[in-house]
Amino acid sequence: MKIENWNLKIKQQPLLCVVGPTGTGKTALALELAKKQPSILISADSRQVYRGMDVVTGKDHPHTTHIYGVDIVDPDEPCSVATWYDAVMPHITAAWDDGVLPIVVGGTGLYVKALTSGIGTLHIPPNNHLRSELVGYSVSELQDKLYRVDPQKLTSMNESDRANPRRLVRAIEIAIAPKKLESRISLLESKVIGLRYYDDSNYRSAIEVRVRARLAAGAVEEAKRLLSQYGENMTSLSAIGYRSLMTYIKGEMSETEMVDRWVADELAYAKRQIVWFKKQSVEWQFVDKPGTI
C-alpha cells in the first residue's frame, strides 16, 4: 500500500462547509465563496429538504443559483440523514469529477458530519416492523431488549442516551440488522468554517428580525396551505415556526404568543447548534451582524 495514493485520493475530494447557528449569515458567506471559484452549493438543512416548505424554513437563496439538497421530498414523506446523503452525494462526486468544489451550507450538524466523518451505520435502513413493535416499550424494557442483543452497546451508552427511547430503538435495530460490513470511512478533505456572533446576546435580535420577515413574506398563508393539504400530524410540520403557526391558526394561541414562541424556539435551537458544533472541528469566524464577515 502506498500512502501517496491515499493522499492523492484525498486531494481529489475537497469539501468546503459553512456551518453555525441560525441567523448568522451562512448563506451569504457561501454565495460569496462560490463566486470565487468553480463550485456547486449544497444545503445541509433538515427542513429545507421538504418541497413547499419555503417561507418558514427560510429558503432565501437567489433563484439564479442552484442549490442541491433542497426540495428532495414531499412534506408527508419520511426523510433522514440517509435520504439527504443519497440525494446529495451523486452531485458531490460529479463535482469532483468535474474538478469543481462542493460547498456545503447549513445548520444541521449531523448532515455535515455524515459527509465529513461518515456514519458507519448510515445504510442500515429503519426496520418499521420493529419500530412499531417497540412503540409502547418503556425505557427499561428497551434497555433489557438491547442488553439481550448487544450488551456492549448498552454499556457504552452514556446516561443521556441510555434514557433516550429513540436511540435505544435505533441501537436495537442496528444490532439485529443483517450485518453488511460497509465501512464508510471518509476520504474527504474537508474544511469547516463556522459562523458565530461575538456576543451571544445578538442572536435574539437577529432571530426576531428574521421571524418578522418570514411572517411578512407569507408564513401564515404557507402554514395554512400545508395544514389543509396534509393535515397536522407530520414530523415535517413539527419544525420550528410551523408548530407555533399551527396552534395560532387553530385559534389556540394569540398572534403575539405565536411570535414569541417561534422566536424562543429558534433561540433554543441556535444554542443547541452551538453546543453541537463546539465538539466538531470547526474554524470559527466571529461576526457582529449577519453577513458582515
Determine contact, residues 258/248, Cβ cutoff 8 Å: yes
Confirm or reject binding of residue 160 to RNA (CB under 7 A).
yes
**Binding string, residues 91-110; x marks residues near RNA by CB under 7 A:** ----------------xxxx
What would the grid cell of residue 220 be?
A: 401564515
Confirm or reject binding of residue 232 to RNA (CB under 7 A).
no
The β-bridge partners of 104 are 17, 42
Is the Cα torsion angle 44, 275, 244, 169 positive or negative in sign?
positive
Considering only residues 251, 279, 283, 292, which one is a binding residue for RNA as defined by CB under 7 A? 279
Q: Which residues contact 56 (CB under 8 A, 6 or more apart)?
A: 214, 219, 222, 223, 239, 241, 242, 245
**Where do we find the cell 442549490?**
67
Confirm or reject binding of residue 252 to RNA (CB under 7 A).
no
Confirm or reject binding of residue 47 to RNA (CB under 7 A).
yes
Confirm or reject binding of residue 275 to RNA (CB under 7 A).
yes
Considering only residues 170, 175, 194, 245, which one is a binding residue for RNA as defined by CB under 7 A? 170
* Cβ proximity to RNA, 101 vs 134, nearer residue: 134
* Interface segment toward RNA; rule CB under 7 A; list 4-12, 67-75, 77-85, 91-99: 77-85
Considering only residues 268, 281, 286, 288, which one is a binding residue for RNA as defined by CB under 7 A? 268
Which 8-state DSSP code applies to residue 105? E
Computed over its alpha carbons, how large is the radius of gyration of the chain? 21
* Cβ proximity to RNA, 41 vs 56, nearer residue: 56
Residues 2-41 contacting RNA, CB under 7 A:
none
User: How many residues line the site for RNA (CB under 7 A)?
Assistant: 59
What would the grid cell of residue 166 be?
A: 429513540
Considering only residues 9, 66, 123, 250, which one is a binding residue for RNA as defined by CB under 7 A? 123
* Cβ proximity to RNA, 64 vs 158, nearer residue: 158
Considering only residues 5, 158, 228, 233, which one is a binding residue for RNA as defined by CB under 7 A? 158
* Interface segment toward RNA; rule CB under 7 A; list 27-35, 61-69, 159-167, 246-254: 159-167
The C-alpha atoms of residue 89 and residue 66 are separated, in whole angstroms, by 16
Q: Which residues contact 39 (CB under 8 A, 6 or more apart)?
A: 16, 33, 95, 100, 101, 102, 103
**Where do we find the cell 407555533?**
244
Q: What are phi and psi of 183, to 5 degrees?
A: -80, 125
Considering only residues 241, 244, 245, 258, which one is a binding residue for RNA as defined by CB under 7 A? 241
Q: Which residues contact 40 (CB under 8 A, 6 or more apart)?
A: 66, 68, 91, 92, 95, 100, 101, 102, 103
Considering only residues 38, 90, 125, 151, which one is a binding residue for RNA as defined by CB under 7 A? 125
* Cβ proximity to RNA, 42 vs 95, nearer residue: 42
Which 8-state DSSP code applies to residue 107? S
The least distance separating RNA from the CB of residue 198, rounded to whole angstroms, comes to 15
Cβ burial of 41 (10 Å; 0-12, 13-18, 19+) is buried
| Chain positions contacting RNA, by CB under 7 A | 45-48, 56-58, 78-83, 107-111, 113, 117-126, 131, 158-161, 163-167, 169-170, 174, 235, 238-241, 264-265, 267-269, 271-273, 275-276, 278-279
